[in-house]
Amino acid sequence: MLIQLTDVTKSYAKDDSWLFRSRTPVLKGVSLSVNHSECVGLVGESGSGKSTLGKIVLGLEACDSGTVSYAEELLELPRYQAMSVVFQDYNTSVNPRLTIAEIINEPLLNEPLSPYERDRLITSLLAEVGLPAELRTRYPHQLSGGQLQRVCIARAIAPNPRFILLDEAVSSLDVSVQVQVLELLQTLKQTRNVAYLFITHDITVASFLCDRLLFFKEGMVVEQVDDISQLNRVADPYTRQLLEAAGYLEIPFLNHSSNP
């Protein structure tokens, strides 16, 4: 086990809380684990609390109750080397005044590398995410969305983390670019032995990349699918609704009733 959350709750103060001291519960007792080198998908609608959960996993927010435990190997490393994150909005994830090489170098600033070694590492990280070395001197506005998200992925893998949180990391990309970036993430997962928590509202992309899926609704895990080939067997009505909307339950060989 790399990361384990047990019975985590979180609430935020309501806007009128100065008067009533009332709070809105956002996470209502969430338990989940991410194992070494696995990709866990957290699928749910907008506002269900997925990003809040992601922030708690990264240690950016504290939970109100419950526990978050990390494997020893994560605790031994500085946080930026143990865990990385790739957000949905690649434009606001990068400093527009930095070159692409400087952006990728951000998590490497404390590494004792010579200028030559640093240069070579940045070039090899660009190659690893499928980008040419010439991009290193460009600025973010001179790249396409897909290229910039690849730069964010290069920055995320630069310190060689054991865990990466992917928060709607392909949701802003065109469908064809989405597939390429998902394939890149799949490759990196294998070559770098990294674990992902993949937060998304899109069950199709989640089932492409993930080993396990957790369906999330109103701050709770309502269903867990350990075997993606058994997706059609989900019982929870909300999860079935999501699958139906994505066309999964219409495919005859996946249909539960025709394949007992």
Which residues of this protein are in contact with ligand ATP, per CB under 6 A? 12, 26, 44, 46-52, 201
Read off φ and ψ for residue 23, nearest 5 degrees. Answer: -130, 150
Give the nearer residue to ligand ATP in terms of CB position, either 71 or 215: 215
CB proximity list for 199: less than 8 A, separation 6 or greater: 42, 50, 51, 53, 54, 165, 166, 167, 168
Query: Would you say 157 or 199 has its CB closer to ligand ATP?
Result: 199
State the minimum distance, in angstroms, from the CB of residue 95 to ligand ATP.
22
CB of 89 to ligand ATP, least distance (A): 11
Nearer to ligand ATP, 128 or 168 (CB): 168
Nearer to ligand ATP, 84 or 200 (CB): 200
- Least separation, in Å, of the C-beta of 42 and ligand ATP? 9
Question: CB of 55: closest distance to ligand ATP in angstroms?
Answer: 8
CB 163 within 8 A of CB 2: yes
Q: Report d(CA 8, CA 31) in Å as an integer.
A: 6
Closest CB to ligand ATP among 16 and 72? 16
Name the strand (E) or helix (H) holding 126: helix 115-128
Give the whole-angstrom CA distance, residue 170 versus residue 146.
9
Residue 142 CA to residue 179 CA, distance in Å, equals 22
Least Å from the CB of residue 247 to ligand ATP: 21
CA distance 90 to 86: 8
Minimum Å gap between C-beta 253 and ligand ATP is: 31
Whichever of 113 and 246 has its CB closer to ligand ATP, that residue is 246
CA distances, 25 to each of 8, 15, 43, 59 (Å): 11, 13, 19, 19
Measured between alpha carbons, how far is residue 129 from residues 87, 182, 240 in Å? 16, 11, 35
